[in-house]
């Protein structure tokens, strides 16, 4: 959505869009927190009123004002998050330059509208460094839905212990595809294992493991 398009919206339309962006931003922070990045409680629990005070220019709102760089809690790792109306070739080039400058190995791009096929090919050429999300997919947090069981990605040591405990090779584990919504939420990469805990009427809890491929 260009600045001209935003300016042409009614006050009611702008308010709906603004509220939607607040929800999207909240889900992004929840997602980063669940991945182990350092996120403040203020960002996790920001109210719509607080968001409005932080971004008072509703009449000419710029999505790039939501961009952020976040450090991981346990390792020298950072992630960059970009917000954009629609990802274009020149925009992606600028994003890529910022990723290189900040020496990050991972970036999330949140977009309102779908990019063109040529731009998608540019992104895919960078391997798994970039993750693309549509705003509409982040309005609500899917893992907080009552029908979604608890998921917890394992680190490399936990994965090693799991395979050793059961005498398994990783190829023997059930699989979860990378484009599964939960796998995307946690940013799983190939070879990562995720622990899934479900409620069971007979056993209390039922635990399974899946490997991303």
Contact present, 25 and 66 (Cβ < 8 Å): yes
Task: Judge whether 3-140 and 143-212 match in fold.
Answer: no
CA terminus-to-terminus distance, the chain: 35
Query: If you average pLDDT over residues 78-94, what whole number do you get?
Result: 96
Give the global pTM.
Answer: 0.90
Each residue's pLDDT tens digit, 129-172: 999 999 999 999 999 999 999 999 999 999 999 999 999 999 99
Ranges of each domain in the chain: 3-140, 143-212
DSSP state of 72: B
Per-position DSSP letters for 123-186, written without gaps between them: HHTTTTSEEEEEGGGGSS-GGGSTTSPEEEE--HHHHHHHHHHHT--GGGS-EE-TTSHHHHHH
- Selection from 20, 69, 14 nearest residue 48 by Cα: 20
CATH superfamily of 3-140: RNA polymerase, Rpb5, N-terminal domain (3.40.1340.10)
The torsion angles phi and psi of 198, rounded to 5 degrees, stand at -110, 150
- Selection from 100, 201, 118, 20 nearest residue 9 by Cα: 20
What whole-number distance in Å separates Cα of residue 54 and Cα of residue 68?
Answer: 14
| Per-residue confidence band for 121, with pLDDT thresholds at 50, 70 and 90 | very high
Joined tokens for residue 108: 């999330």
**Is residue 36 classed exposed, middle or buried when 0-12, 13-18 and 19+ CB atoms within 10 A define those classes?**
middle
> What order of strands is seen across the sheet that includes strand 204-212?
150-153, 193-200, 204-212, 175-176
Q: Which CATH class is domain 143-212?
A: alpha beta
Q: What's residue 4's pLDDT?
A: 59
- Selection from 112, 23, 107 nearest residue 62 by Cα: 112
Q: With 60 as the cut, is the pLDDT of residue 1 above it?
A: no
| Per-residue confidence band for 72, with pLDDT thresholds at 50, 70 and 90 | very high
Each residue's pLDDT tens digit, 3-60: 556 667 787 888 899 999 999 999 999 999 999 999 999 999 999 999 999 988 766 7
């Amino acid at each position: 959505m260009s600045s001209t398009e935003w300016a042409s919206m009614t006050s009611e339309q702008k308010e709906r869009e603004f509220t939607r962006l607040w929800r999207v931003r909240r889900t992004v922070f929840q997602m980063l927190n669940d991945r182990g990045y350092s996120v403040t409680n203020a960002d996790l629990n920001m109210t719509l009123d607080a968001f409005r005070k932080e971004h008072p220019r509703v009449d000419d709102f710029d999505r790039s004002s939501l961009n952020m760089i976040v450090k991981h809690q346990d390792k020298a790792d950072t992630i960059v998050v970009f917000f954009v109306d629609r990802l274009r070739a020149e925009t992606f080039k600028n994003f890529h330059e910022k990723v290189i400058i900040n020496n990050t190995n991972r970036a999330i791009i949140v977009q309102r509208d779908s990019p063109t096929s040529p731009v998608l090919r540019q992104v895919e050429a960078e391997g798994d460094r970039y993750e693309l999300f549509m705003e509409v997919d982040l309005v609500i947090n899917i893992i907080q839905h009552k029908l979604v069981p608890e998921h917890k990605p394992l680190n490399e040591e936990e994965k090693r212990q799991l395979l050793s405990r059961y005498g398994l090779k990783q190829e023997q584990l059930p699989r979860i595809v990378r484009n599964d919504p939960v796998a995307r939420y946690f940013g799983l990469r190939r070879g990562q294992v995720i622990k899934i805990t479900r409620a069971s009427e007979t056993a209390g809890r039922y635990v399974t493991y899946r490997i991303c491929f």
